[in-house]
Chains A and B, each alone.
Chain A
């Protein structure tokens, strides 16, 4: 197990280096001179030259990359072209909102997904099964930005039960929880649908297996049969789906933040892309991709933990 973690961790470092290089290079070869973006249309030639000199843009690309990498290791992601603010500060201010949203959505997705999946497997071909299968199909097809807009229309505009957007109140207050409900459902629905689908098929496969029949014959109660004997094995593929989904969820955060006007990493990124603020784009993309690969590593480890038969050779 320790060998697996060490090996995966070394791979992770290599992957992060690759990601940082790719992100740095893509911003570097992007058309548009950063000096012009910072200096604005009125900057003179000497001003532009001074900005370039200041940013070290006249140095070889590889030196600039090494410099950038050195900065990252010290927690310095550069400075915004637009506001001059440190990218690290901008990210730190907004990161809690994104994490709040992603975690809440994941919880919503896991609870709804696993519960509906298991129930529809136990009650196969019943109306519960039919409605949860329909939900699973519709859930992956609904554009989440549209679902968000519709939820706002119904619960915020018409019924006025929940706020239209924002995520400013602390999470432990009722206001804070209320603010989180609609965005979490919006973002969690697609993942819930996928998890439900996977849980259903995994559970169906497991409850038909020999060892479950044996346990049943030995007189194990239905409840412990499902929740203790079957669930652990059925969860193996579900954990993978949850892990893979976390990536989609992080991507989805970007969109959901925009719909609900939440000041998170996603919104920071979208505004930066529109304004061609490369340091911010670089920093945010790098951060999200790093979290994604890190989560994948954790999923791999959990995977080996739940199923000791798995060895990564």
Chain B
């Protein structure tokens, strides 16, 4: 066991790791689109965190004297909706909801997918069984699996998180399993086994860190899907319910006022598009940056 610790905590290792992360980050920043994506995501995070300080009105605060104001009218930067609620404030609080829902559903999906993928890749006995479940979940197209889960649990934003996280499991499990299968045959894993390391230790300390690149890319891309799906489900009335300032629900509410106040639908739509675009291009950039083939060029 002690040999293992010494092997593990070589002084050079963390330094090299740090350098690798910095290198990757620099490479992502060199990609113009990914750089734009990072800026958009950063703005969204800032908006989400500092929402109360960036708005003069509450997201639920109605003022029937100023309904359906256009952009920039009477001190409302993005106008107001049919209840006189400030659109900017609802948009900013909506960013908070999107990020929280996206992060939590991706995190839960990763936990499930990582566990299943690691176990399936490591133990051949359960591989067939786990992968058949994964295949079964893959048999549901697009958003359908999420809808089935919502049909089962009922309509709410929390259930949307659960539904999207379950929907994320098969994709993650398949990626992790693939990585585990290739890594577990490597000599250093055999060396760990012969040193007497437990399966859990090998999986968590030696295999998992080597699967991080595809997982990070998957998680980033999945954020885009999660945010898009949450808004779609809320638009359909299966997710966030009014008056929650969720972007998809805001578009649905704005549809009835398309003639008189089109900004009610246009603004949240642009917000969703920018956010999804940002996570997609950051994911693309990360994939290019983490591609092992690029290592050779450097």
Using CB atoms and an 8 Å cutoff, list the residues of chain A in contact with chain B. Answer: 15, 18-19, 22-23, 26-27, 29-31, 137-138, 140-146, 149-150, 152-153, 157, 246-252, 254-255, 258, 269-270, 272-274, 276, 278, 281, 285, 288-289, 292-293
Q: What residue in chain A is nearest B231 (Cβ atoms)?
A: A143
What's the tally of chain B residues with a CB closer than 8 Å to chain A? Answer: 45
In the complex, are the beta carbons of B238 and A270 less than 8 A apart? yes
Does chain A have a CB within 8 A of B136? yes
Interface residues of B in 162-197 (CB under 8 A from A): none
Q: Provided the pairs A18-B132, A270-B238 are in contact, do residues A149 and B255 lie with their beta carbons within 8 angstroms?
A: yes
Does chain A have a CB within 8 A of B14? no
| Residues of the A chain whose Cβ atoms lie less than 8 Å from the Cβ of B152 | 26-27, 29-30
**Cα separation A132 to B251 with both chains bound (whole Å):** 27
| Residues of the B chain whose Cβ atoms lie less than 8 Å from the Cβ of A150 | 265-266, 269
In the complex, are the beta carbons of A273 and B141 less than 8 A apart? no
Distance (whole angstroms) from the CB of B158 to the closest CB of chain A: 14
In the complex, are the beta carbons of B142 and A26 less than 8 A apart? no
In the complex, are the beta carbons of B139 and A15 less than 8 A apart? yes
* Candidate in B139, B141, B224, B232 with the most chain A CB atoms within 10 angstroms: B141
In the complex, are the beta carbons of B142 and A251 less than 8 A apart? yes
Distance (whole angstroms) from the CB of A50 to the closest CB of chain B: 26
| Residues of the B chain whose Cβ atoms lie less than 8 Å from the Cβ of A247 | 141-142
Contact segment of B22-30, B42-50, B199-207, B272-280? B272-280
Q: Provided the pairs A18-B139, A137-B281, A141-B276 are in contact, do residues A273 and B147 lie with their beta carbons within 8 angstroms?
A: yes
9 further A-B pairs in the complex, CB-CB below 8 A; given A145-B232, A292-B139, A292-B140: A18-B136, A29-B152, A30-B152, A31-B153, A141-B224, A251-B142, A255-B232, A258-B235, A272-B151
In the complex, are the beta carbons of B144 and A254 less than 8 A apart? yes
| Residues of the B chain whose Cβ atoms lie less than 8 Å from the Cβ of A246 | 141
Interface residues of B in 212-234 (CB under 8 A from A): 224, 228, 231-232
Distance (whole angstroms) from the CB of A246 to the closest CB of chain B: 8
Provide the B136-163 mask, 1 if CB < 8 A to any CB of A, else 0. 1001111110011111111100000000
Question: Which of A152, A269, A273, A288 sits near B258, CB closer than 8 Å?
Answer: A152
In the complex, are the beta carbons of B248 and A143 less than 8 A apart? yes
Q: What residue in chain B is nearest A134 (Cβ atoms)?
A: B33
Question: Which of B141, B254, B265, B280 sits near A141, CB closer than 8 Å?
Answer: B280
Q: What residue in chain B is nearest A143 (Cβ atoms)?
A: B272
| Residues of the B chain whose Cβ atoms lie less than 8 Å from the Cβ of A29 | 152
* Candidate in B151, B231, B254, B255 with the most chain A CB atoms within 10 angstroms: B151
In the complex, are the beta carbons of A30 and B153 less than 8 A apart? yes
Q: What residue in chain A is nearest B235 (Cβ atoms)?
A: A145
**Cα separation A143 to B224 with both chains bound (whole Å):** 11
Q: Provided the pairs A153-B262, A255-B236 are in contact, do residues A143 and B273 lie with their beta carbons within 8 angstroms?
A: yes
In the complex, are the beta carbons of A289 and B151 less than 8 A apart? no
Does chain A have a CB within 8 A of B259? yes
